[in-house]
Amino acid sequence: MIEASGVSVTYAAGVQALVDVNLRISHGEFVFLVGPTGSGKSTFLKLLYREELPTSGRVVVDSVDVAALRRKDVPALRRRIGVVFQDFRLLPDRTAYENVAFALHVTGTPKRQVRARTMDVMERVGIASKARFYPHQLSGGEQQRVSIARALVHAPKLLLADEPTGNLDPDTSWDIMRLLDEINAGGTTVLVATHDKAVVDQMLRRVICLLDGRVVSDVRQGRYASEPQPA
């Protein structure tokens, strides 16, 4: 599903966000991406949905060389990838239903399909009863479920989550991680960038650790506790 070969990203003034990253993630895997703030986790995720481009190296997602895509083909790539953010990024003036349905409207989905697909995915993530609520009327966990529903509405093969529990209390964090686990069990590849040590250590999934932009460990059934620390 994901292959990074010799990937580096260098920003202005020579700041290196990623350095010679090489990794492969197979279809159907659940993987945690961990590391200190500034280690390159978010940059790596952005490469996958073409918000950033590598300075060097090659990024392939579901057999597509992301950097080689023509600009007009980027939206099609992004419809194959669901993205969940720490701050939810919901439209404040639209209901939960409208936030999810919007992702279908902008891609020209026929109106007769929009309601069925939107309600189906909201039901799947346990938020259908809040369809008419606005974001400010929802708890943090409920807002994140709406965000996940929006990410799933195009039935993506790959779901990326950037600190999905960062703004949530521990109990709600577990609810969200159980939901992501269920989504993965349905066949979706899930990659989660996180600082949530308790979740990582409890779930015992594959853990890839970045430090100063480099992959420093890649452990099956790994723990966050063994993460190397910067000097």
Q: Which of 134, 155, 176 is the last residue of a domain?
A: 155
Same domain, 119 and 101: yes
Say what the pLDDT of residue 91 is: 96
Q: In this structure, what token pair is assigned to residue 168?
A: 């949530």
Cβ atoms of 121 and 103 closer than 8 Å = no
CA distance 42 to 98: 27
Same domain, 32 and 62: yes
Say what the pLDDT of residue 13 is: 85
10-residue block means of pLDDT along the chain (231 residues)? 97 92 97 93 96 96 94 90 92 97 89 93 96 97 96 94 91 93 96 92 94 94 65 41
Q: In this structure, what token pair is assigned to residue 230?
A: 């910067």
Say what the pLDDT of residue 56 is: 97
Q: Which of 136, 155, 174 is the last residue of a domain?
A: 155
Say what the pLDDT of residue 108 is: 85
Say what the pLDDT of residue 230 is: 47
Which is it for strands 158-162 and 189-193: parallel, antiparallel or unpaired?
parallel
Same domain, 104 and 130: yes
Say what the pLDDT of residue 225 is: 58
Q: What SS3 string covers 215-229?
A: EEEEECCCCCCCCCC
Task: Count up the domains in the chain and report the number.
Answer: 2
| Phi, then psi, of 156 in degrees rounded to 5 | -70, 155
Say what the pLDDT of residue 231 is: 41
Domain extent at residue 147: 88-155
CA distance 169 to 174: 9
| pTM as predicted | 0.92
Q: Which of 116, 135, 155 is the last residue of a domain?
A: 155
